[in-house]
Amino acid sequence: MIEEEQSDSTELGGNITLVGFKEIDKAELVVVKKLVGSYTRKLSDTVSGFESITVTLKLVHHTEEGNPKYELHARVNVKGNPCVAEVVDRNLFVGLDSVLNKVLAETAKYK
DSSP string, 3-61: ---GGGEEEETTTEEEESGGGS-HHHHHHHHHHHHHHHHHHHHHSTTEEEEEEEEEEES
Top CATH class, 6-110: alpha beta
Mean pLDDT of 82-102: 96
Higher pLDDT, 27 or 66: 27
More reliable by pLDDT, 85 or 60: 85
Residue 3 predicted with pLDDT over 70: no
pTM, rounded to two decimals? 0.86
Per-residue pLDDT reduced to its tens digit, 19-47: 999 888 999 999 999 999 999 999 999 99
Neighbours of 40 (CB within 10 A): 20
Q: Within 10 Å of residue 42's Cβ, how many Cβ atoms?
A: 14
Domain segments of the chain as ranges:
6-110
